[in-house]
Amino acid sequence: MEVNPLNIFFVKSDSKGDRLLFRYPYKLDNKDENTQKKCGRHNPYAINCTEDLLQNPQTQTSNVYKGQLSGFTDEMLSTLFAVKAELCNRKFELKVNDVRFVGHPTLLPYRTNKDDTAAMILINIVFALQASASHSIVKCYYDLSKRLGKALRHEEKRCSYLTEEMKIMLATHDEVSALESEVNRENDEEEENLRHSVSSATYSHENCGDGTPKSAFHLILQRSSLARSMKAVFEGLSSTGIVQVRINNWVLLSFCLPHKAHQIHNRGLIIEPECIDKCLQKLRPYHGILLMVDPNELLASIPLDGSPALLRLIKLYSPLKSLQTLAIEADLSFTQVSQLTGHLVYWAKATVIYPLCEGNVYVVAPCGNVNIHSPLLDEFAKEFPGLCLVQMLSEFSLPAPLWFKARGVGGAGGGCGGGARLARVVAWLLRRKLLLQLHTYVHFNSPNWNDDPDGQEYYCEKHDIYNQSCNISFSSLNQMQLNVPEPVEPRESANTFPDSDEDYPTENNLNQTDFSHTKPIVIESEHSKHEKFHTNDSANHSFDDGMDVVDGFVPKPNGLNGFGHNDQKKQLNSVDSGISNNNSDKLHINGSMDVDDHKEDKKVTITTRLSDASLKEKDASNNVDCDENMMDCDVSPRQKNTLTNGTDKKNGVSLNLKLQNEMSFQPPTVCGGVGECEAGAGSGAVRAGCAGDESPLHAFTPAERAALAALPAASNPDDLLLLATLHKKGYFRGETHLEEIMFMENVTRSQLMQLLDKFKGVLITFETEDPAVAMLYPYQ
């Protein structure tokens, strides 16, 4: 209600004085109604106290009567709106009682008809609003007034449009007032009426005979195209909030009042532009759009000079597509797409959703106002014959993924033609903001999370501490803590297959030659020194029994002191070297280097490890003989490593993750050997991730590790790695929903769900709406 304009005025002020040239609507209510209103509410039993009347005459508190402006005469308004030159070209805002006038007084040169010297004229197009209208509404109206002023200035400059129109208006005013003064000479009783408002009142002159209402404004509306444009502006604003007017059939003025425009689709929903801006800031590539109108209609309504990008976007539109998909298909950048989305949302042509898919969970929106009398019921029945809106909404009483509903509705509703129809129903309901999507957010339940107000630094510090403790004294740490983050060494498994390394593929040999030239070998081995001992057990376990007996094995390496470790490591290295008979001397060197405990650049180790793992992965899937692979991967990656070092360094972790994905999709019907290989590869990835400063596992605090260790799922290195990586990237702070994680990390929902299930002891999940999408909902 308060969104609608009360009135539009057109005032000019020049050397000849100020004049209200046009207003719309111009019909004023009867005068006696006005006076009644002014007196306020009448209490028939009230005593009229004379003293009161003397001191406090009734003050007028409202100028709005029955949704129309009242109590102002045209002269008064024209003096108010004809501002002094100092106030021109800036915002004009005046509030009188409960009416707010807003406009942009525009000063422009115009040609007087007598001489061609340009004089300045001030025009002011003023909107009268309810004073309770919010500031952002006022701002929009101000903008519109400014644009109208600019359009008129342009047209005046181009073809003296304003001059011509003003001439028509003034002539009509003069004509009518001349006529009226004539009439009034005869009818004295109307004189009083005239004094109050010369031109606005609508008189029906019986004396004149024709009986048609003769108001100057009425005539102006017939004669002047500018007046008609203003009427169109006013009517557009009060009906749809969208104005598309061509001033003088030349300048196209497109304007949208979003507060009003969104009410076409959802009554009572007021969306402020600021809100849309905020929503756009939160827009991510995985979001999608849902058009509120038919795409074909929308295409038709776009003017010819509309952006081709927008046309492409709409042509390719589907509520199932994410913005990124749309961007790719329409060959646009994401920024462009999000800007176009913002545009569509502003004009109430679209809303932001998460793309429709079967896994989505919807509930009835808290604001969804449905009752047995609401018109939505009929609309819904018309759109989807045989379905009842109420029943449909009651289906969404409990949150469940859409595929589940599809089944349920198919059973209960009978006629619901499967998923496609359900999708249409959901889209319809989303457009009406009757449904709200719930997302699952995950929060990592660290035992001491109220101690660390800022996560990043804290973790970093912890991580350092942990590193030191790792290096210095293993035995001092309790075994449970150790168990969790301990990376698994693939070489270990190689170790368990000492007999498998008969012959290397030739390329590997090549690799090895390459590798022999490169430095990283040493690093590699140095690195392995750190890890060998603790990986030992888990690898063993994974191979030997395949059960979760990690704990049984753990104590052994822990129990070893530094010396023991060294021994074991040496042994490992020697095994390595033994295996790689082709370049045994090199590897021997490695081993010796290890023992010498050189300090190396850790970053390089990471990258080598990474490529290690990745290649291993490929090998595992390609070759059948996994044992041999295991041996290969120790050596083969080096060659690629040297080439891809830079790129790998950057997104090493995500690479790992992708590999993990691939792995999980591997068909389960592989021979045991491959399975074991897989585990080895996975553990390799873990090790790789864990090796350097950025290792995901180090994101956990010791207490968190302890909590993790208690879970049987932590023994699975793949799961652990995924968890650690996601945790490290901050996905488990309750701020990113599953869909976002899926999108960002390229993992599948089932993977995530499994992970959540496995680690439910430490992960807290909660379901709530996506704030970016919920911003466009009316509640709160």
Name the site residues for other proteins (rule: CB under 8 A). 55-57, 59-60, 63, 71-73, 76, 79-80, 83-84, 86-87, 90-97, 134-136, 138-139, 363-366, 368, 370-374, 388, 390-391, 393-394, 397-399, 438, 441, 443, 445, 447, 449-450, 453, 733-735, 764-771, 774, 780
Closest separation in Å from C-beta 135 to other proteins = 3
Neighbours of 579 (CB within 10 A): 25
Q: How far apart, in Å, do the first and last CA atoms of the chain sit?
A: 19
**Hey, what's the torsion of the CAs at 515, 517, 520, 526, to 10 degrees?**
90
Tokens standing for 644?
């891809």
User: Please, what is the minimum distance in Å from the beta carbon of residue 30 to other proteins?
Assistant: 18
Closest approach of Cβ 463 to other proteins, in Å? 20
Partners of 552 in beta bridges: none
Please answer whether residues 629 and 556 qualify as being in contact, where contact means their C-beta atoms are separated by less than 8 angstroms: no
Q: Which lies closer to other proteins via its Cβ, residue 399 or residue 419? A: 399
Nearer to other proteins, 323 or 364 (CB): 364
Report, in Å, the least distance between residue 90 CB and other proteins. 8
- For 10, 29, 184, 230, 731, the CA distances from 176, given in Å and listed in that order, are 18, 20, 12, 21, 73
308 vs 453, beta carbon nearer other proteins: 453
Minimum distance between the CB of residue 444 and other proteins, rounded to whole angstroms? Answer: 9
CA 676 to chain centre: 43
The tally of CA atoms less than 13 A away on the side-chain side of residue 195 is: 5
Considering the complex, state which of residue 114 and residue 135 has its C-beta at the smaller distance from other proteins: 135
User: Do residues 776 and 287 make contact, with C-beta atoms less than 8 angstroms apart?
Assistant: no
Residue that is written with structure tokens 């830079």 in the block: 646
Closest distance to other proteins from the beta carbon of 719 (Å): 22
- Minimum separation from the CB atom of position 267 to other proteins (A): 15
**Do 103 and 139 touch, CB atoms closer than 8 A?**
no
Nearer to other proteins, 62 or 642 (CB): 62
Least separation in angstroms between residue 60's CB and other proteins is: 6
From CA 316, how far away is CA 549, in angstroms rounded? 54
Measured from the CB of residue 276, what is the shortest distance to other proteins in angstroms?
16
Give Cα 479 distance to the centre of its chain.
45
User: How far apart are CB 452 and other proteins at their closest, in Å?
Assistant: 10
Min separation Cβ 713 and other proteins, Å: 19
Residues in the chain: 780
Nearer to other proteins, 75 or 190 (CB): 75
Q: How far is the CB of 84 from other proteins (least distance, A)?
A: 4
Nearer to other proteins by Cβ, of 72 and 346: the residue is: 72
**DSSP, res 17:** E
Nearer to other proteins, 440 or 656 (CB): 440
Secondary structure class of 560 (helix, strand, coil): coil
Report the nearest approach of other proteins to the CB of residue 766 (Å): 4
Query: Exposure of 644 by Cβ count < 10 A (0-12 exposed, 13-18 middle, 19+ buried)?
Result: middle
Asked if residues 155 and 247 have their Cβ atoms less than 8 Å apart, the reply is yes
Let me know: does 682 contact 690? Beta carbons within 8 Å.
no
Q: Between 114 and 373, whose beta carbon lies closer to other proteins?
A: 373
> Is residue 137 a contact partner of residue 259, using CB atoms and an 8 Å limit?
yes
How big is the chain by its Cα radius of gyration, in Å?
39
Nearer to other proteins, 97 or 307 (CB): 97
With respect to other proteins, which residue has the nearer C-beta, 293 or 706?
A: 706
Q: Is 625 exposed, middle or buried (0-12, 13-18, 19+ CB in 10 A)?
A: middle
Q: How far is the CB of 778 from other proteins (least distance, A)?
A: 13
* Closest to other proteins by CB, 137 or 314: 137
Measured over all CA atoms, what is the biggest interatomic distance in the chain, rounded to whole angstroms?
126
Q: Report which of 611, 641, 589, 615 is spatially closest to residue 505, judged by C-alpha positions.
A: 615
Looking at the Cβ atoms of 194 and 438, the one nearer to other proteins is: 438
Residue type, 32: D
What is the C-alpha separation between 582 and 293, in angstroms, rounded? 70
CB neighbour list of residue 476: distance below 8 Å, 6 or more residues apart? 469
Query: With the C-alpha atoms ordered 194, 200, 203, 207, is the resulting torsion angle positive or negative?
Result: positive
Nearest to other proteins of 374, 623 (CB atom):
374
Structure tokens at 373: 């009398």
Q: How far is the CB of 364 from other proteins (least distance, A)?
A: 4
3-state SS of 323-374?
HHHHHHHHCCCHHHHHHHHHHHHHCCCEEEECCCCCCCEEEECCCCCCCCCC
Cβ proximity to other proteins, 675 vs 761, nearer residue: 761
Q: Which residue has the tokens 């990986």?
A: 535
- The rounded distance, in Å, linking the Cα atoms of 612 and 637 is 5
